Structure 1
């Protein structure tokens, strides 16, 4: 699910974020629509055949864009629009993917400033993953320093979150910090289940297990 080509947006953007956004306990129309998008995202990302993913994710982006436009000051709306955009960027790749990634950065930056809770944490985590996956200057805007800062910001808010720990572990793995990466990934596997996010949880745990196997191989475990 990952490839790194200097001149394109990496396919790992399709998992930016396998994204677990726990919405407010008291339902409202924006929360309900965000939850629907979250469930559909998981279905498309983890269950839809590869040949059909681009079309399905493009359709979902239309819905996510509409929600963000209808609720521009709601962090969960912007964050889920960003998550869907990131998935579409990864599926498209190349210049088209990089253009979407720039839009994604703007959405996630706004979301991170609107909320200090779970939605804000998700935005920080997504930004961190984006910064270490896209190419650096002069092609893109990637930055290891910004990636580390944003990932840690997300972890500070939601230290047990499966996505926050997965992407922190992935970043550490890319930096060759294998022992720390293993610790983060074990924390991800121990994350509590998210009601209504069963497909996303199962898919993300699979991602974590695959990466942990690579980390253990590096550690000789």
Structure 2
């Protein structure tokens, strides 16, 4: 997920000029037709990491994420009982929202919120609590009422729930630390950033781990 998700919305004043999208000579692969079904989720995860951490510029990143959302939507529609794909469709939409910025991203995060809530109802521990991590992240990064649904108390509730399921994971520790940092609780934030930094590598997701570790290092400079 984009670590600066919706900060542009939260910090900007009306009216907001939406990010321009031009014709880009880039398309992400279509997963629906080109990959082995058992590897579908991993391919979605790999493509997310490529969009997030290897795009040459913001326009290419946005185009990459748009294609990925379309591909994941197709996969999820074709496999409606696959809760893992539902979570990743939500993650891809919220990451795209962060790349777009502005009020135009609000519909994407609202769609992401609905998908995550559905996933939690279907399987609360799906992907080691990733649905709770993502939902909590939305709640602290999205503006509050009347513009959005953001709420710090709810954010902390869901982020702690994610940690109860996966206490040593890099993502739940990172996002809870980021929440604490934004809440001014720097001593607590440092502890969770350090725990995230010490998380065991995920052999099947090296690019995502590398990108997250760089984000951890950057955040710790703010402490």
Is TM > 0.5 for Structure 1 vs Structure 2? yes
- The unaligned stretches of length 5 or more in structure 1 are 9-27, 216-221
Question: What residue is the counterpart of 2:93 in the other structure?
Answer: 85
Please point out which of 34, 44, 52 is paired with 2:41.
Answer: 34
| Structure 1 residue corresponding to 2:143, chosen from 135, 138, 142 | 135
The total of aligned residue pairs comes to: 195
Q: Is contact 2:133-2:175 (8 Å) kept?
A: yes
Deviates more, 1:142-151 or 1:118-127: 118-127
- Cα distance in 1 for partners of 2:135, 2:115 equals 10
Distance 2:49 2:161 in 1: 24
2:180 is aligned with 1:194: no
CA distance in 2 between partners of 1:87 and 1:171 (Å): 17
**Matching residue within 189, 193, 209 for 2:217:** 209
Scaled by the length of structure 1, the TM-score of the pair is: 0.83
Which residue number corresponds to residue 16 of structure 1?
A: none
Does the aligned pair in 1 maintain the 2:120–2:126 contact within 8 Å?
no
Q: Deviations over 1:161-206 (max 9, x none)?
A: 1010000000011111111100000000010111120000000001
Q: Paired residue for 2:71?
A: 63
Please give the alpha-carbon distance, in whole angstroms, between the structure 2 residues aligned to 1:206 and 1:118.
26
Partners of 2:132 and 2:124 in 1: CA distance: 10
Distance 1:153 1:6, change over 3 A: farther
2:128·2:166 contact (CA, 8 Å) conserved in 1? no
Equivalents in 2 of 1:77, 1:120: separation in Å? 14
Q: Distance in 2 between matches of 1:126 and 1:167?
A: 9
What SS does the aligned partner of 1:106 have? helix
TM-score normalised by L of structure 2:
0.83
